[in-house]
Amino acid sequence: MAIQDVTVTIDVQNPAPKVGLGRPLILAESTSTESTYKEYYGLDTLKVDFPEGTSVYKKAKAILEQTNRPDIVAVATYSASGGGDPGTGLTIVQAFEKYFDKPWHFLLLPDAIATERKAVSDALEGHNFKFLVLKVEDKDELAQYTSNSRTIPYYHPDKPGEEMDAAIIGDAASLTVGSITWKFRKNLVGITPIDISADELKALHAAGANAYVLKAGIPQTSEGITATGDYIDFLHGQDWVKANIESSLQQMLSDNDKVPSNDTGISMAVSVMTSVLTEAATNGIVDKDSNGNAEFTVTSKPMDEIPEEDRKKRIYSGLGFKYYPEGAFHEIEVTGTVVNY
């Protein structure tokens, strides 16, 4: 786990790194028993370690040739023979856990088989932070992810050489969190729409998957959902709030010689949280009312309501917040009247 003094737990009612909320990690199989992690700023440096034609190079190329490409692409490896025993290297899940706290947010698995993909998906779900993005070619595979809100499947069959999972991350992930919906992402470089009927597409969405289709003559993503049907932008916004509150409060503790355990210190913390949530409203994560006021609240408890055990350990456990997320229109229905004179 990352070293930090601030932890934010979000209960969705129906310091994580502040940077990197759009950065991808390509977790690839290696014949070496030594697991590695490295960040690359372009294909020229990446192909020294992963030449053209390798699965890693193909994913990275699809990411970096998109208009909204991220600043870096990270690559980590696990062992093809990994069994968790000394000398055999790390399994895919062990490598995932080892590098979870690195500054990436979207995971790609170019070499994993379905059982490995499921194992990583389950492991990621336990963290309730970051995303796994998958190109799925077999509809039957989708059923194993339907309980995992942090897995984003894209059904893209019969398109050899097209890295749909990587392309959508290169296009959408690094844009300002809250500023977009992941539906309608169009004209992805190197990706062609699949041939699918309206009924088939509806069933695909019900199974928790997205696709790249042709609508009104424009190639675009058909939905913006995770495997549970949750909207990607809602969860990505939730991650932004968590990461920024954690990092901002950690910065407050680090920048001040002392944050006193009284009303002054509490007010300092409330001010930091209010600032973060105000920025979240500006970015489109937090909704606004009809008067343009951000719809969030920050709550705090006085010190005499903090459990004695926490006070002894210098832990302030009295902060809380609540916000209403800003949504987006994904469909529009129009009712018209024709007057016949």
| pLDDT, tens digit, 9 for 90 and up, residues 296-324 | 999 999 999 999 999 999 999 999 999 99
Tokens 């796994």 -> residue: 132
pLDDT reading at 84 higher than 70: no
Per-residue pLDDT band for 82 (boundaries 50, 70, 90) equals: confident
Tally: H helices and E strands in the chain? 9, 10
Round the average pLDDT of the chain to a whole number and report it. 93
pLDDT band per the 50, 70, 90 thresholds, residue 8: low
Which secondary structure element, helix H or strand E, spans residue 62, and what is its range? helix 55-64
CA distance linking residue 303 with residue 325, whole number of Å: 30
State residue 16's pLDDT score.
45
d(CA 102, CA 65): 23
User: pLDDT tens-digit profile of 128-180?
Assistant: 999 999 999 999 999 999 999 999 999 999 999 999 999 999 999 999 999 99
What's the pLDDT score for residue 30? Answer: 95
Encoding tokens for residue 220? 């675009």
pLDDT for 210: 98
83-87, 118-122, 128-132, 218-222: least confident range: 83-87
Position of tokens 């509490």?
A: 266
CA dihedral 306, 281, 154, 83 (to 10 degrees): -30
Distance, in Å, from the CA atom of 233 to the CA atom of 263, rounded to the nearest integer, reads 36
Give how far Cα 140 sits from Cα of 145, 196, 275, 314, Å: 10, 16, 45, 52
Calpha distance 325→341 (Å, rounded): 46
Among 4-8, 112-116, 192-196, 282-286, where is mean pLDDT lowest? 4-8
Strands (E), the chain: 24-30, 37-40, 73-79, 106-108, 131-136, 151-155, 212-215, 218-221, 296-299, 320-323
Amino acid 74: pLDDT: 98
- Lookup result for tokens 């696709």: 211
Confidence of residue 205 (pLDDT cuts 50, 70, 90): very high
- Which tokens belong to 281? 């409203």
